Chain A
Amino acid sequence: MSQPDFSHDGIRTARGTAFRYLFMLCALLSILTTVAIILTLLVDAVDFFAQVSLVDFLTGTRWSPTNEPIAFGVLPLISGTLVITIGSAMVALPIGLLTAIYLSEYASDRRRAYLKPALEVLAGVPTVVYGYFALVYVTPAIDAILPVDLSTFNALSASIMVGIMIIPMVSSISEDAMSAVPDSLRQASYGLGATKFTVSTSVVVPAALSGIFSSFILALSRAIGETMIVAIAAGQTPRMIDLTDPAGMFLDSIQPMTSAMVQIGTGDIVGQGPAYKSLFAVGLTLFVITFVMNLISELVASRYREVYR
């Protein structure tokens, strides 16, 4: 979009150059932000790892930053995050994918015009509100309906709420990918006598697979980083989970990484002890996981853009 600058008026050119550099500075601020995030996390995490060994942190199965015996194993927190991620994925991925298929293949333009903003609202509600909903409405409702022994703080209602929150991420990006599938592919399939169901599931979804995959990763990355819902509704019990025991995973209190950070952040821990510094070590772990996922999502998405545009 850059245009040749034909003016040779010295003062005006000087002013134009000044603005150019000013604007460039604004754009470079974003890179500075990333550098600052990495440095902030690293500096304090390095301090932390001087006191607690990296191996103990990454392989320890007990997390107890303030109560004796002190332990800084991050695995129970990663377990908690995993439970929320699996739970919210079971809600958001199928619902989001079906929503995208409906919006892209079935809905009329008029219906799509009000369904899409309505879905976006799901992502716009403050997460603290979802957390409150999970705690005071969803948990009692599930407890009343299902014949299970549900704790006041549990992973189930928290993951359902996180799942509902990330539905629009899955549906909007998947729908973009499905809309980018050339109409000729659909027409060819209809010409063979296929129904809309067959066209959607056997032609459109496979053709849009990389976009759908990218939306899944991005949504799960959002679920991993989600903080307030789990801090309010999922509890503060860091524990290892058993993947073969779904009831044990979901019906009781757990503690994901983000929730542990909030607990340290709201506590009265001051000074430079390992409990305070562990905040940055967990933060760094969270940042690395979500950063890698976002990057993969971006790379996968840019691949499908090249195919059809």
Chain B
Amino acid sequence: MAADTGETPADGFGRVSRTKDVVFRLLALAATLIGIVSLAALLLNVAVDAVGWLDWQFLTNPPHPNPYEAGFLPALVGSIAIMLMIALVTFPLGVGAAVYLEEYANDGYLTRFIQLNIANLAGVPSVVYGLLGLGLFVGLFNIGYGNVLAAAFTIALLILPIVIISAQEAIRAVPDSQRQASYGMGATKWQTIRNVVLPRAMPGIMTGTILALGRAIGETAPLIMIAAPTTVFGLPNSFFSKVSAMPLQIYNWASYPQTEFQYGVVAAGVVTLLVVLLTINSIAIVIRNRYQQRT
């Protein structure tokens, strides 16, 4: 910032305007709130619309062309089945990669390249991961179109970068003095990781993984790309069952022109999806808070 001494002040420097300051402050506050308020208004709308539609019958019935008989059960169970599979795949892989990057890798070109690559993978559009799933799991490995396994593997690759990044942060937060203490007792590197670093970082890793699963449960585009059926009437009973998921069923219903679907059945589906998502995120927050109280 160049100082213009003695000459006409540039950029309003030197001229104090209280009004401008107050107006700007209010403008900035309004900008901060506008997104939150809009979303709150939309959520209120959908909650009101779901009243009368979101009932036990909706949660336990299969989909039906008649809006009064339409249900969400196969999509709900499908989403949960896919999510559990994703957790089984991403947790070990994500933690493994994070342990390598934080505890073993030196700060060389390879490490920086892996790190940059992970950051970039987190920014690849989800629909592109869908094409990866289509080409790799459906095509090359021949797992089959739109079943539990193909869906889980595809979305697992999508959230893996997020899991790795959050696990790295959790591992980095473990104080170095604890590692030194472990080495001082004669422990090997692996013993230190297993007995000191991982137990200490586990709550943070769990929180990050669960939050990533919350993202996974809302993913739609990858499922469309691997040709998961938008509407399934039965529950999945094997890894190779064709499976739908909550967001996919909502996408399908949203295209129905009847008002009963647009402002009733879909609203109920949206509220169900958001409640499941909220539950997942609450679990993550509970784990984080319990951990914070202990230290």
Query: In the complex, which residue of chain A has the Cβ closest to the Cβ of B131?
Result: A283
Chain B residues contacting A167 (CB-CB under 8 Å) are 35
Top 4 nearest A-B pairs (CB, nearest first) are A225-B125, A126-B218, A26-B96, A40-B135
Per-position 1/0 for B223-263, Cβ under 8 A of A: 01101001000000000000000011011001100000011
A280 within 8 A of B: yes
Chain B residues contacting A39 (CB-CB under 8 Å) are 135
A225-B128 contact, Cβ under 8 Å, with A15-B190, A133-B42: yes
Q: Contact check: which of A19, A26, A128, A294 meets B247 at CB < 8 Å?
A: A128
Instruction: Decide: B127 and A261 in contact? CB cutoff 8 A.
Output: yes
List B178-202 residues whose CB lies under 8 Å from chain A. Answer: 179, 183, 186-193
Instruction: Decide: B28 and A37 in contact? CB cutoff 8 A.
Output: no
Instruction: Decide: A36 and B132 in contact? CB cutoff 8 A.
Output: yes
A contacts with B, residue count (CB < 8 A): 103
A148 within 8 A of B: no
**What CA separation (Å) do A188 and B2 show in the bound complex?**
12
CB distance from A139 to the nearest CB of B (A): 11
Instruction: Decide: B130 and A102 in contact? CB cutoff 8 A.
Output: no
**What CA separation (Å) do A107 and B28 show in the bound complex?**
10
Instruction: Decide: A129 and B104 in contact? CB cutoff 8 A.
Output: no
A129-B131 contact, Cβ under 8 Å, with A1-B103, A30-B118: no
Chain A residues contacting B36 (CB-CB under 8 Å) are 115, 118-119, 121-122
Instruction: Decide: B18 and A195 in contact? CB cutoff 8 A.
Output: yes
Other than the known A19-B190, A27-B96, A33-B121, what 12 A-B pairs have Cβ atoms closer than 8 Å?
A: A3-B192, A15-B190, A26-B100, A27-B114, A28-B114, A30-B161, A40-B134, A40-B135, A124-B277, A128-B250, A197-B25, A228-B220
**What CA separation (Å) do A167 and B254 show in the bound complex?**
25
B77 within 8 A of A: no
Q: Contact check: which of B1, B128, B161, B277 meets A287 at CB < 8 Å?
A: B128
Q: Contact check: which of B32, B42, B103, B121 meets A102 at CB < 8 Å?
A: B32
Instruction: Decide: B124 and A198 in contact? CB cutoff 8 A.
Output: no
**What CA separation (Å) do A125 and B24 show in the bound complex?**
29
Chain B residues contacting A107 (CB-CB under 8 Å) are 32
Q: Contact check: which of B13, B134, B254 meets A135 at CB < 8 Å?
A: B254
Instruction: Pick out which of these stretches binds chain A: B54-62, B64-72, B80-88, B266-274.
Output: B266-274
Q: Contact check: which of B29, B101, B128, B135 meets A43 at CB < 8 Å?
A: B135
B contacts with A, residue count (CB < 8 A): 101
Instruction: Decide: B125 and A290 in contact? CB cutoff 8 A.
Output: yes
A298 within 8 A of B: yes
Instruction: Decide: B125 and A227 in contact? CB cutoff 8 A.
Output: yes
Q: Which residue, of A22, A36, A102, A193, has the highest number of chain B Cβ atoms within 10 A?
A: A102
List 7 interface pairs A-B (beta carbons < 8 Å), by A numbering: A6-B186, A33-B160, A37-B128, A124-B281, A126-B220, A286-B125, A298-B120
B292 within 8 A of A: no
Q: Contact check: which of A31, A128, A202 meets B218 at CB < 8 Å?
A: A128
B173 within 8 A of A: no
Chain A residues contacting B17 (CB-CB under 8 Å) are 195, 197
Instruction: Decide: A23 and B96 in contact? CB cutoff 8 A.
Output: yes
A286-B128 contact, Cβ under 8 Å, with A6-B183, A122-B36: yes
List B20-42 residues whose CB lies under 8 Å from chain A. Answer: 20-21, 24-25, 27-29, 31-32, 34-36, 38-39, 42
Query: In the complex, which residue of chain A has the Cβ closest to the Cβ of B191?
Result: A12
Q: Contact check: which of B13, B190, B254 meets A132 at CB < 8 Å?
A: B254
Chain A residues contacting B38 (CB-CB under 8 Å) are 164
